[in-house]
């Protein structure tokens, strides 16, 4: 009898230990965290994804090793679907995995898994983002509407833009919030140009944000010189020298970065975390976590380049080898 009791006690202990072991194994759950934005005035759309952990313990226990928080380079299939009036338009667009090619920030860091597409975004549409894990087959998805109605190709009003005349601003978008430049922390100065290569014409641009790279203050009351040497040097560093292309300067847009509805909610509750692999307070991704939203660059002033400025771009020391046409439309 004692022997039978000992066996029952041993089995009871083994069962208890087994249950405790199972609980230890299941003490955390891996969750994909996605950050993605679409912008009708950008030539590329980016997405970042990394691992997050739902745990009752210390999350730092699971975020010390790089392979515990960062997915492999091409761990996902990412698709962008366009909807109008609730119906799918065309075929889904697939993002491509890339090495990080943009400035560090919440939506892209050196260790993140980053994806990109160059497919243009259309107005009056709603978009669905689908992120599918190759290994598990699980899918994380979210919906976002488009903010703004002027595309990159339409963003500069060449015929109406005159220096120091403020009626070159575009039609006011449907936006809840201030459009006064003085109410924003910074603005964007976007240099627009055409690029001709292989019989094709491409719309190109270079952005400068003064508050992030304040190499010189702009003298807004200077009507003699529109741009300045430090800015020409900046453009020469951002635009690659390529003997196989020709370029033509279009103008400069002064823009405000406006967040869409989903992104506004995220910004309102966002607090800088101590660990980058965190779950945001606002989340609009299903079967996962993160934020999928839109932003828009509102042009409040379009600057038409003077002939002297165009010639400086073409013949000046910084951009001489970038093959920009002069004020006569000729290349050297």
The DSSP annotation for 250-297 comes to EEEEEEEEEE-HHHHHHHHH----SSSS---SS---BTSEEEEEEEEE
Residue 29: enclosing H or E segment and its boundaries?
A: strand 28-39
Provide mean pLDDT across the span 48-74.
Answer: 61
| Chain mean position to CA 299 | 18
Hey, what are 59's tokens? 């999350």
Residue position matching structure tokens 């932003």:
295
User: 45: pLDDT confidence band, cut at 50, 70 and 90?
Assistant: very high
CA distance 102 to 269: 25
For residues 311 and 104, what is the distance between their CA atoms, to the nearest angstrom? Answer: 35
CB 283 within 8 A of CB 291: yes
Tell me, yes or no, if the pTM score tops 0.85. Answer: no
Q: Residue ranges of the domains in the chain? A: 30-149+259-295
What is the C-alpha to C-alpha distance for residues 205 and 253, in angstroms, rounded to an integer?
10
Residue 30 and residue 37 in contact, taking contact as beta carbons nearer than 8 Å: no
> 220-247: per-residue pLDDT in tens?
444 456 888 889 999 999 999 999 999 9
Query: Is the model's pLDDT at 323 over the cut of 80?
Result: yes
- What is the token pair recorded at 275? 């660990």
pLDDT reading at 58 higher than 60: no
**Half-sphere exposure (Cβ direction) of 309: Cα atoms closer than 13 Å:** 19
Mean of pLDDT over the chain: 79
Predicted local confidence at residue 32, as pLDDT: 84
Tokens of 60: 């730092």
- Assign 154 a pLDDT band (cuts: 50, 70, 90): confident
Q: Which helix (H) or strand (E) holds 25?
A: helix 2-25
Token pair listed for 83: 């909807």
Among 256, 252, 258, smallest CA distance to 234 is for 252
* Residue 180 banded pLDDT, cuts 50, 70, 90: confident
Tell the residue number behind the tokens 């400025």, with chain if given.
Answer: 309
CB atoms within 10 A of CB 63: 19
Calpha distance 107→38 (Å, rounded) = 12
Residue 254 corresponds to which tokens in the numbers above?
């002064």
């Amino acid at each position: 009898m004692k022997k039978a009791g000992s066996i029952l006690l041993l089995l009871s202990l083994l069962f208890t230990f087994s249950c405790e072991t199972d609980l230890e194994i299941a003490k955390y759950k891996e969750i994909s965290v996605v950050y993605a934005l679409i912008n009708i005035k950008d030539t590329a759309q980016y997405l970042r994804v990394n691992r997050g952990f739902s745990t009752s313990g210390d999350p730092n226990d699971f975020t010390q090793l790089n392979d515990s928080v960062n997915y492999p380079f091409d761990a996902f299939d990412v698709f962008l679907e366009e909807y109008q009036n609730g119906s799918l338009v065309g075929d889904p667009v697939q993002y491509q995995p890339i090495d990080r090619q943009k400035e560090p920030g919440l939506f892209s860091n050196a260790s993140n898994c980053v994806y990109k597409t160059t497919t243009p975004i259309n107005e009056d549409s709603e978009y669905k983002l689908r992120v599918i894990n190759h290994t598990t087959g699980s899918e994380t998805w979210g919906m976002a509407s488009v903010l703004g109605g002027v595309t990159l190709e339409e963003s500069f009003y060449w015929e109406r833009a005159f220096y120091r005349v403020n009626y070159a601003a575009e039609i006011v978008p449907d936006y809840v919030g201030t459009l006064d430049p003085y109410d924003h922390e910074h603005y964007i100065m976007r240099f627009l140009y055409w690029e001709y290569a292989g019989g094709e014409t491409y719309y190109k641009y270079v952005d400068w944000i003064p508050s992030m790279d304040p190499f010189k203050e702009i003298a807004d009351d200077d009507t003699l010189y529109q741009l300045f040497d430090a800015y020409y040097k900046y453009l020469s560093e951002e635009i690659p020298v390529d003997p196989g292309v020709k370029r033509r300067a279009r103008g400069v847009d002064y823009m405000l970065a406006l967040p869409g509805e989903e992104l506004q909610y995220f910004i309102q509750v966002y607090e800088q975390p101590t660990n980058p692999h965190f779950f945001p307070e606002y989340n609009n991704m299903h079967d996962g976590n993160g934020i999928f939203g839109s932003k828009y660059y509102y042009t409040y002033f379009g600057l038409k380049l003077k002939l002297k400025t165009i010639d400086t771009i073409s013949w000046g020391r910084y951009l001489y080898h970038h093959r920009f046409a002069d004020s006569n439309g000729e290349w050297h």
